[in-house]
């Protein structure tokens, strides 16, 4: 019980530091879904899960200085921000990479795909028992959409994509890619443009309450 109580306190601090929530954005409406989306999501091989409130999509006050249209990933806090005008952003909960597998830096969206295929990298195949190729569909771990991150004109092999394991939103268990619920990645896909800048913050640079930089600030809220 003590551990659970500490988690709640830290989560509360994280909400204060991560931006004040103005209003919850509703899950992607039917208008955002294609006929194919509706068919494939109806056949998804997972049960609907209740995403914790902090990791549901929200419009928040945004304190950083990136220009509107930029995507910012705060891996520490498990948030992805799509920057809006007027000091606001859409904040999505995400699954991020395990510490040893995470990537950080500045990239651009090199291409986008609906219901992408998946070809595991050699490194993933060493660590996991996976097929050589998975076709697009609800059984594919890439989910409904993928944004491919490029840096210096080269594919980084990191993606922002959907998932067939929505129960892990808010955790750090992926092989380095940023996972979103399929509904959220469809929403982001419809907003983000080819060539948009993606900033993935390095560990310790985000707003998670366990960062040393933030821990001193959090004392103000005690």
Q: Which residues are catalytic?
A: 161, 177
As a dihedral over the C-alpha atoms of residue 62, residue 100, residue 172, residue 58, rounded to 10 degrees, the angle is 10
Largest CA distance in the chain: 51
Distance, in Å, from the CA atom of 62 to the CA atom of 81, rounded to the nearest integer, reads 9
Q: Let me know the angle formed at the C-alpha of 195 by 193 and 198, rounded to the nearest 5 degrees.
A: 90
Q: Are 82 and 188 in contact (CB under 8 A)?
A: yes
For the chain, how far is it from start to end, CA to CA, in angstroms?
A: 20
111 φ/ψ angles, rounded to the nearest 5 degrees: -165, 165
Q: In the beta sheet, which residues pair with residue 89?
A: 60, 83
């Amino acid at each position: 019980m003590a551990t659970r109580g500490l988690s709640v306190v830290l989560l509360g601090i994280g909400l204060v530091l991560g931006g004040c929530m103005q209003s919850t954005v509703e899950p992607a409406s039917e208008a955002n879904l294609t006929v194919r989306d509706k068919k494939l999501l109806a056949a998804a091989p997972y049960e609907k899960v209740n995403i914790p409130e902090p990791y549901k999509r929200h419009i928040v006050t945004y304190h950083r200085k990136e220009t509107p249209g930029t995507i910012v990933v705060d891996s520490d806090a498990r948030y992805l921000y799509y920057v809006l005008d007027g000091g606001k952003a859409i904040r999505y909960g995400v699954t991020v990479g395990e510490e040893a597998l995470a990537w950080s830096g500045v990239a651009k969206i090199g291409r986008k795909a609906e219901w992408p295929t998946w070809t595991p990298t050699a490194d993933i195949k060493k660590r996991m028992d996976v097929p050589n190729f998975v076709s697009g569909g609800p059984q594919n771990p890439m989910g409904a959409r993928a944004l491919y991150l490029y840096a210096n004109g080269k594919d980084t092999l990191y993606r922002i994509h959907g998932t067939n394991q929505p129960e892990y939103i808010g955790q750090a268990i992926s092989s380095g890619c940023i996972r979103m619920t399929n509904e959220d990645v469809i929403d982001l896909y419809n907003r983000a443009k080819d060539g948009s800048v993606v900033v993935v913050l390095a560990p310790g640079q985000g707003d998670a309450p366990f960062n040393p930089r933030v821990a001193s600030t959090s004392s103000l809220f005690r």
